[in-house]
Chains A and B, each alone.
Chain A
Amino acid sequence: MAMIEIRNVSKWYGEFNVLKDCSTTVDKGQVVVVCGPSGSGKSTLIKCVNALEPFQQGDITVNGQSLCDPATNLPKLRAHIGMVFQNFELFPHMRVLDNLNLGQTKVLKRDRATARDRSLELLKRVGLEAHAQKYPGELSGGQQQRVAIARALAMDPIAMLFDEPTSALDPEMINEVLDVMVALAKEGMTMMVVTHEMGFARQVAHRVIFMDEGSIVEDTSKEEFFGSPRSERAQQFLSKILHH
Chain B
Amino acid sequence: MLGEFDFDVIWRSLPYLFKQGMTFTLTITFTAMGAGIVLGTLLAMMRLSSFKPLAMIAGGYVNLIRSLPLVLVIFWFYFLVPWIGQWITGAERPVLVGPYLSSFITFTLFEAAFYCEIMRAGIQSIPRGQVAAGYALGLNYWQTMGTIVLPQAFRNMLPVLLTQTIILFQDTSLVYVLSISDFLGAAAKIAQRDSRLVEMYLFAALVYFVLSYTASHYVKRLQARLAIVR
Task: Name the one of A80, A89, A106 contacting B143, with C-beta atoms under 8 angstroms.
Answer: A106
Instruction: Give residues 70-102 of A contacting B (CB, 8 Å).
Output: 75-83, 85, 87, 89-93, 102
Task: Name the one of A47, A50, A103, A137 contacting B229, with C-beta atoms under 8 angstroms.
Answer: A137
A85 touches B230 (CB 8 A): no
Give, as a whole number of angstroms, the nearest-CB distance from A59 to chain B: 20
Give, as a whole number of angstroms, the nearest-CB distance from B137 to chain A: 4
B136 touches A102 (CB 8 A): no
Instruction: Give residues 99-141 of A contacting B (CB, 8 Å).
Output: 102-103, 106-108, 135, 137-138
Task: Name the one of B127, B130, B138, B152 contacting A107, with C-beta atoms under 8 angstroms.
Answer: B138
A107 touches B136 (CB 8 A): no
Residues of B within 8 A of A81 (CB): 136
A93 touches B136 (CB 8 A): no
A91 touches B130 (CB 8 A): yes
Give the interface SS of chain B, mostly helix, strand, loop or mixed: helix
A106 touches B132 (CB 8 A): no
Residues of A within 8 A of B135 (CB): 52, 75, 78
B133: nearest residue on chain A (CB-CB)?
A89
Instruction: Give residues 11-61 of A contacting B (CB, 8 Å).
Output: 47, 50, 52
B136 touches A50 (CB 8 A): yes
In the complex, which of the residues B136, B140, B151 has the most CB atoms of chain A within 10 Å of its own CB atom?
B136
- Is the interface on chain B under 10, 10 to 19, 20 to 34, or 35 or more residues? 20 to 34
Residues of B within 8 A of A47 (CB): 132
- Is the interface on chain A under 10, 10 to 19, 20 to 34, or 35 or more residues? 20 to 34
B148 within 8 A of A: yes
> With the chains together, A90 CA to B152 CA distance in Å?
12
> With the chains together, A190 CA to B138 CA distance in Å?
19
A155 within 8 A of B: yes
B147 touches A106 (CB 8 A): yes
B129: nearest residue on chain A (CB-CB)?
A89
Task: Name the one of B132, B137, B229, B230 contacting A102, with C-beta atoms under 8 angstroms.
Answer: B137
> With the chains together, A102 CA to B137 CA distance in Å?
9
Q: A83-B136, A103-B137, A135-B229 are in contact. List 10 more A-B contacts (CB 8 A).
A: A50-B136, A52-B135, A75-B135, A82-B136, A89-B129, A92-B152, A92-B230, A93-B151, A137-B230, A155-B138
Identify 17 residue pairs between A and B in the complex whose beta-carbon atoms are under 8 Å apart, listed by A's number: A47-B132, A75-B138, A75-B139, A78-B137, A78-B138, A79-B138, A80-B138, A82-B136, A85-B129, A87-B129, A90-B133, A91-B148, A92-B228, A92-B230, A93-B152, A107-B138, A135-B229
Report, nearest first, the 10 A-B pairs whose CB atoms are least far apart: A79-B138, A137-B229, A103-B137, A89-B133, A83-B136, A107-B138, A89-B129, A78-B138, A75-B138, A75-B140
Q: A residues within 8 Å of B by Cβ? A: 47, 50, 52, 75-83, 85, 87, 89-93, 102-103, 106-108, 135, 137-138, 151-152, 155
